[in-house]
RNA sequence: UGGGCAGUCGCCAAGUGGUAAGGCAGCAGGUUUUGGUCCUGCCAUCCGGGGGUUCAAAUCCUCCCUGCCCAGCCA
């Protein structure tokens, strides 16, 4: 990774105001801070999903806009859930999204020694104790949401005994679950997090970075605030469910001789219609084979969306458009689609492909001639240039572009109707050839030689413009048609006896053979196309050049089709 | 009377005492060799509800209602 790739790779944009930026503006104005340092702190226990992009763009975006720094820190304090596969994928995904942490890559596990020292300080000051309660006993004594808890019988051990016991915990003398180190706070607090929380537990597990050096591991609440302080984070931005943890975050930092005291700020996490965002449920999909992997194009993971063809710029754009606030909300999936279309409209090459072919014979066109007609690659981008597409006597058009008895307002092909073939000629349907079963087998048409390029000067009004493919030069391609991610509206509100798996869209993936113009053989993996009048497609990263595979990214907006459906 | 947080258009969201931004969706037109794009217009007399303070409130006070989060030796 060349280090010229900095967070400046993401262009600056005018930022909408939000309450976090307001706080930072005040801190800068008051002189509380001169340089803003944020951090994105994932636990490496799964792949990043669309929900994480909000946090990533928020933290890295703030660093960019305030000329600050955003650290990447892996919150790897639970070795039993974590894996290097995940740290690698997370780094790759963040880079793909266009952000870079430069030299500022950290792991909570880098702080294990320091964290341990601080724990001994807590013990020495009588603010932490070794507790022999079993998990069940501790749970019982914690009290309930409405009733206070009871103090552990081990709460008043001497400092010397606590220190001795804690050192022996570290040395591996005790079994998992037999002892914990707990902060001595307040068992009657209304905030359950303050009821003598566990700060170290015994886990005789191999850690993906520290190996077998440790058999005691610090808990999140204890680790996170200290890690932030050690790194000089100014604003520790996290999601709403940690609001209750803020008093504990502040408590640890107040007790310990840490270099600074970052401010924790909470915001509402991203929820999206049609989308499962729970790591646990996504892991189930992968583990039980409902999808091909974390990067299956139906997955709401960053890797899945990349594979499907969503541009990184679109995900960034979404993150900006949804805003940042404290009210829990669910963003409409339509907004993501809009961001994708908006980006692809500017960048995707226009190309012709027919997904469900209906043969056409141009009766007045010579059998043995193929002519090449110029076509623009993208009308939104003149610099994208032109290409030439072959035209001949035998063509294929989209079956749904022909209607034997057209409805009112139909201006595509119908018996006797004249339409324009994009970039080519006007044609008129002269005859409909039916198969024995009554279905349409092919159409016999005539073309108007004077309309070459799709235009005449005689003022003729031809409103319908169809995409088409020359039969004999058609390239066979494969398309994967995906529906909206893959779930029903609210998989979490499943009925009694059903799991979210019962709500998966079983038609979420349809693979179809299709025919395209020859230029599609030159498609590069990851490159996006607009298959004219159909949808945006992206050349799959795993595709073979001889047989390109295209993932449908999002459908084009089609108001006529919508009306027709309803 | 456990604790914490939140309620502004169908979905997001700005607004921090001076008379309701913007986007998505939707609707109506126009342009168009994609029923795409683009352009124009419409879309909250009202800010969860009731009281109150004020010349003036979505913004302040007060009571009420609704929703979300918390009882892992997960993060």
What is the distance in angstroms measured between the alpha-carbon CA of A66 and the sugar C1' of B61?
Answer: 38
**Rounded Cα distance, A119 and A125, in Å:** 10
Note the Cα A527 to chain centre separation in Å: 18
How much is the pLDDT for A485? 65
Rounded, the Å distance between the CA of A513 and C1' of B5 is: 52
Backbone phi and psi for residue A114, each to the nearest 5 degrees, phi listed first: -65, -45
Whole-number distance in Å between A22 CA and B17 C1': 20
Given its phi and psi angles, is residue A442 left (phi above 0), alpha (psi -120 to 50 degrees) or beta?
Answer: beta
What is the distance in angstroms measured between the alpha-carbon CA of A380 and the sugar C1' of B34? 12
Extended strands (E) in A473-526: 475-482, 509-516
Q: Output the pTM of the full model.
A: 0.94
Shortest CA to C1' contact from A462: nucleotide: B33
Q: What pLDDT is attached to residue A6?
A: 40
Which member of A21, A127, A203, A269 is catalytic?
A: A269
Asked if A264 and A238 touch (Cβ cutoff 8 Å), the reply is yes
- Nearest nucleotide, CA A180 to C1': B73
Q: Nearest residue to B73 (CA, C1')?
A: A201
Q: Do the Cβ atoms of A49 and A302 come closer than 8 Å?
A: yes
Q: What is the mean pLDDT of each run of 10 residues along chain A (566 residues)?
A: 42 75 95 97 98 98 96 98 97 98 98 98 98 97 96 98 98 98 97 98 98 98 98 98 98 98 98 91 92 94 96 98 96 96 97 98 96 96 95 97 92 96 98 96 97 91 95 96 69 59 81 96 95 96 84 88 45
Decide: A114 and A218 in contact? Cβ < 8 Å.
Answer: no
pLDDT recorded at residue A460: 87
- Give A374-383 contacts, CB < 8 A, sequence gap 24+: A374/A423, A374/A453, A375/A350, A375/A422, A375/A423, A376/A350, A377/A349, A377/A350, A378/A347, A378/A348, A378/A349, A378/A350, A379/A350, A380/A345, A380/A346, A381/A346, A381/A347
Q: How far is the CA of A265 from the C1' of B54 (A)?
A: 34
Q: What confidence score (pLDDT) does residue A496 get?
A: 57
Catalytic member of A43, A231, A317, A398:
A43
Nucleotide with minimal C1' distance from the CA of A41 is B75
Q: For position A562, what pLDDT does the model report? A: 56
Q: Which residue is nearest to nucleotide B71 (CA to C1')?
A: A144
ipTM of the complex: 0.95
pLDDT at A535: 96
Q: Which residue is nearest to nucleotide B34 (CA to C1')?
A: A533
Relative to beta strand A180-183, strand A198-202 is antiparallel
List protein-proximal bases of chain B (any atom < 7 A from a CB).
2-8, 10-16, 21-27, 33-38, 67-75
**Does A408 qualify as catalytic in the annotation?**
no
pLDDT at A20: 97
Pairing of strands A353-354, A357-362: unpaired
pLDDT at A12: 57
Q: How far apart are CA A272 and CA A466, in angstroms?
A: 35
At residue A359, the pLDDT reads 98
Catalytic residue among A73, A157, A279, A350: A279
**Pure H helices in A381-499:** none
d(CA A170, CA A174): 9
pLDDT, position A558:
80
For the question of residue A269 being annotated catalytic, the response is yes
Residue A450 CA, nucleotide B71 C1', distance (Å): 80
Which nucleotide lies closest to A280 by the C1' atom and the CA atom?
B74
Residue A517 CA: distances (Å) to CA of A100, A297, A388, A410: 39, 25, 10, 26
A393 is a catalytic site residue: no
Are A468 and A422 in contact, with CB atoms under 8 Å apart?
yes
Distance CA A253, CA A540 (A): 49
Give the β-pairing of A426-434 and A418-421: antiparallel
Question: Residue with CA nearest B4 C1'?
Answer: A244
Give the nearest nucleotide to A136, CA to C1'.
B73
A155-176 core/surface letters (b: 16 or more CB in 10 A; e: else): eebeeeebbebbeebbeeebee
């Amino acid at each position: 990774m060349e280090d010229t790739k900095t967070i400046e790779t993401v262009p600056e944009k005018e930022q909408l105001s939000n309450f976090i930026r307001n706080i930072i503006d005040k801190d800068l104005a008051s002189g509380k801070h001169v340089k803003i340092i944020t951090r994105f702190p994932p636990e490496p226990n799964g792949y990043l999903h669309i929900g994480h992009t909000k946090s990533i763009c928020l933290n890295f975006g703030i660093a960019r806009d305030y000329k600050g720094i955003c650290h990447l820190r892996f919150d790897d304090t639970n070795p039993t859930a974590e894996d290097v596969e995940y740290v690698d994928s997370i780094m790759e995904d963040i880079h793909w999204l266009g952000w870079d942490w430069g030299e500022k890559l950290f792991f909570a596990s880098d702080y294990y020694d320091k964290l341990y020292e601080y724990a001994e300080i807590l013990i020495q000051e009588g603010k932490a104790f070794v507790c022999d309660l079993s998990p069940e006993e501790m749970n019982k004594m914690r009290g309930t949401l409405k009733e206070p808890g009871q103090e552990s019988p081990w709460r008043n051990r001497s400092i010397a005994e606590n220190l001795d016991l804690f050192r022996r915990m570290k040395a591996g003398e005790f079994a998992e679950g037999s002892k914990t180190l707990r902060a001595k706070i307040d068992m009657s607090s209304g905030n359950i997090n303050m009821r003598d929380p566990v700060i170290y537990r015994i886990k005789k597990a191999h850690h993906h970075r520290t190996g077998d050096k440790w058999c005691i591991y610090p808990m999140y609440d204890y680790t996170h605030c200290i890690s932030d302080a050690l790194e000089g984070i100014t604003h520790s931005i996290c999601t709403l469910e940690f609001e209750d943890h803020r008093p504990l975050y502040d408590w640890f930092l107040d007790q310990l001789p840490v270099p600074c005291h970052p401010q924790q700020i909470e915001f509402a996490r991203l929820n999206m219609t049609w989308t499962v965002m729970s790591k646990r449920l996504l892991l189930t999909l992968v583990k039980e084979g409902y999808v091909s992997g974390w990067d299956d194009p139906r997955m709401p993971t960053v890797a899945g969306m990349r594979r499907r063809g969503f541009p990184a710029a679109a995900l960034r754009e979404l993150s900006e458009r949804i805003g940042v606030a404290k009210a829990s909300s669910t963003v409409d999936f339509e907004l993501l689609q809009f961001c994708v279309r908006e980006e692809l409209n500017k960048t995707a090459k226009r190309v012709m492909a027919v997904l469900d072919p209906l043969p056409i014979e141009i009766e007045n066109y010579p059998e043995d001639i193929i002519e090449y007609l110029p076509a623009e690659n993208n009308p939104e981008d003149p610099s994208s240039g032109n290409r030439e597409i072959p035209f001949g006597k035998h063509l294929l058009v989209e079956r749904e572009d022909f209607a034997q008895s057209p409805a009112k307002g139909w201006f595509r092909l119908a018996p006797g109707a004249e339409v324009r073939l994009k970039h080519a000629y006007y044609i008129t349907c002269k005859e409909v050839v039916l198969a024995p079963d009554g279905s349409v087998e092919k159409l016999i048409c005539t073309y108007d030689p004077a309309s070459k390029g799709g235009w005449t000067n005689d003022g003729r009004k031809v409103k319908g413009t169809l995409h088409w493919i020359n039969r004999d030069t058609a390239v066979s391609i494969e398309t994967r048609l995906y529906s909206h991610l893959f779930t029903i509206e609210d998989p979490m509100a499943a009925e009694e006896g059903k799991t979210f798996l019962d709500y998966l869209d079983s038609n979420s993936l349809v693979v179809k053979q299709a025919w395209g113009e020859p230029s599609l053989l030159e498609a590069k993996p990851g490159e996006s196309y607009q298959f004219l009048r159909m949808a945006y497609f992206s050349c799959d990263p795993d595709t073979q050049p001889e047989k390109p595979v295209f993932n449908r990214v999002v459908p084009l907006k089609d108001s006529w089709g919508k009306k027709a459906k309803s």
